[in-house]
Amino acid sequence: MSFTTPPRVSRRTAQRDLVRGTKFLSTLSRVPEIRAILEEGAGYTEADHDEGWNVLLTAMGYNRKSAPTNAASPFPQQAALVELDEWDGINFERTRATLRYAFPAQHDYLFQGLSAGTGADAIGSVQTYVERVAALRDGTDPDRADTREADQAAAERLEQRKIFNREIQLHLEGLLEQAKQLAPAPKRVENEAQIQQASDQLHVWLSDWTGQARAFITRGDYLIRLGLSTRKSRSGADDEEEEFEDEGTPSADDSNGSV
């Protein structure tokens, strides 16, 4: 891709693009089914993928020569956060479907004030989910002594559906621990002008490829994993329904160099 005279983006736009770029590229690295759609429909290549990671890492102030070799997760903390963000939406939805009518009391206990989070908010939502399902299974909530048998049956149903079991619990707890850790300080690119240039180039790259993705990828869950859509709950109905809300294509509206 040619980056001839890209628009100069503001710091706010640059920070937003770092989050979006990490999620978009991480998903393409980790989910071959999504990447295949972009390859077939828009001609996305390995060179395009590597170009995206190059400008993203430089825009982060990371020295590409000292960057981790696994492009799917340049920062373990960010990779863990991306996986948690992907996990809660689809599995909260599956849990609701499993428990809503068969175990309504347990459904209401589990989802009281709880919904899928986006970005860093996924840490709190997944941790709360894990703690509450474990409490149903293990009978550790003293306020639910009278419903222990039904609580355990609900937890068993989630295990039968392969939504939550002890192995999944350990995996999620590991992701939560990783996501909460401080990221190691990257080796800074000394030339701040180089970082600005990479931020400008990243904005152009994202605007192009997120636009291409929207044209060929129509599945809502795929768009969510790419960071191009979010779930929103429609309130005011007996049964909560899931809708998709467009996150928008990166815009240069505030690309005026302002802070």
Same-domain pairing of 40 and 121: no
> Which of the listed residues 155, 180, 205 is the one where a domain comes to its end?
180
Antiparallel, parallel or unpaired: β 241-246 and 229-234: antiparallel
In the predicted structure, residue 71 carries a pLDDT above the cut 80: no
Residue 224, domain member (yes or no): yes
Is the domain of 94 the same as that of 170? yes
Say yes or no: 121 and 208 in one domain. Answer: no
- The answer to whether residue 256 is domain-embedded is no
Q: pLDDT tens digit string along 110-125?
A: 999 999 887 778 889 9
Do 14 and 199 touch, CB atoms closer than 8 A?
yes
For 6, the token pair is 């890209």
DSSP string, 72-125: T-SSHHHHHHHHHHHHHHHHHHHHHHHHTTTSHHHHHHHTTT-----TTHHHHH
Contact between 195 and 59 under an 8 Å Cβ cutoff? The reply is: yes
Looking at the structure, do residues 175 and 86 belong to the same domain, yes or no? yes
Lowest model confidence (mean pLDDT) among 100-104, 115-119, 243-247: 243-247
Averaged pLDDT for residues 16-25: 89
Whether residue 109 is found in the same domain as residue 69: no
Query: What distance in Å separates the CA atoms of residue 48 and residue 39, rounded to the nearest whole number?
Result: 10
30: domain range? Answer: 11-74+184-246
Residue 160 lies in a domain: yes
Domain assignment present for 233:
yes
Residues 29 and 123 in one domain: no
Same domain, 102 and 165: yes
Q: Which neighbouring-strand residues pair with 253?
A: none
Report the distance separating Cα 199 and Cα 8, nearest Å: 8
Residue where one domain finishes, among candidates 151, 180, 209: 180
Note whether 84 and 148 are same-domain residues: yes
Classified as helix, coil or strand, 245 is strand
Q: Per the domain annotation, does 83 fall within a domain?
A: yes
Q: Is 2 a member of any domain?
A: no
Q: Of 62 and 94, which is predicted with more confidence?
A: 94
Question: Measured between alpha carbons, how far is 163 from 252 in angstroms, rounded to an integer?
Answer: 41
Q: What is the pTM of this model?
A: 0.56
Which helix (H) or strand (E) covers residue 34, if one does? helix 32-42
Query: Does residue 86 share a domain with residue 128?
Result: yes
Question: Domain for residue 47, yes or no?
Answer: yes
Q: Are residues 170 and 200 in the same domain?
A: no
pLDDT at position 146 over 90: yes
Is 64 within 8 Å of 238 (Cβ atoms)?
no
- Residue 165: inside a domain, yes or no? yes
Q: Are residues 164 and 198 in the same domain?
A: no
Domain end: 136, 164, 180, which one? Answer: 180
Number of domains in the chain: 2
Instruction: Give the pLDDT band of residue 59 (cuts 50, 70, 90).
Output: confident
Contact between 178 and 80 under an 8 Å Cβ cutoff? The reply is yes
**Mean pLDDT over all residues of the chain?**
82
pLDDT the model gives residue 66: 45
Per-residue pLDDT, 35: 93
- Examine the domain organization and report whether 102 and 16 are in the same domain: no
pLDDT tens per residue across span 220-237: 989 988 989 876 655 444
